[in-house]
Amino acid sequence: MGLEELEQQDYFSIGDVKRITGVPEYSVRYWESEFGLIRPVRLPSGHRRYSKADVYTILKIKDLIYKHKLTLEGAKKQLNKYQFASSSEKKTAPHTDIKLLTEIKETLADLLKE
């Protein structure tokens, strides 16, 4: 499982997310509760299934914490800026979406190099 398979599937197990992002499972679960932006689907068995959007959010959080050296609180503030911009300013500030996508693309490129 790698980044190339990210576009081939719609949902991922927590093990798949770990392999794709390089983030330990316990961190994924913690970030899920801490940030409130990662919302996996729960199967009747209780297992989590993460969407592509969840995986991209995890990659963004990882980028903010590890690459940009932000604290969890700083990463929350940064992500809230993106949330606010994408929900309330979508019609007036499309450059925000492009900036976010560009940063995600750079993060994915960095992960492919590793």
Chain CA centroid to CA 100, Å? 11
pTM over 0.75: no
| Other residues' Cβ atoms within 10 Å of the Cβ of residue 35 | 17
Rounded-to-integer distance, Cα 89 and Cα 80, Å: 13
Given a cut of 60, is residue 91 above it in pLDDT?
no
Residue 36, SS3?
coil
What is the topology classification, in CATH, of domain 3-113? Multidrug-efflux Transporter Regulator; Chain: A; Domain 2 (1.10.1660)
Q: What is the pLDDT of residues 31-59, one digit of tens each?
A: 999 998 999 999 999 999 999 999 999 99
Please answer whether residues 38 and 76 qualify as being in contact, where contact means their C-beta atoms are separated by less than 8 angstroms.
no
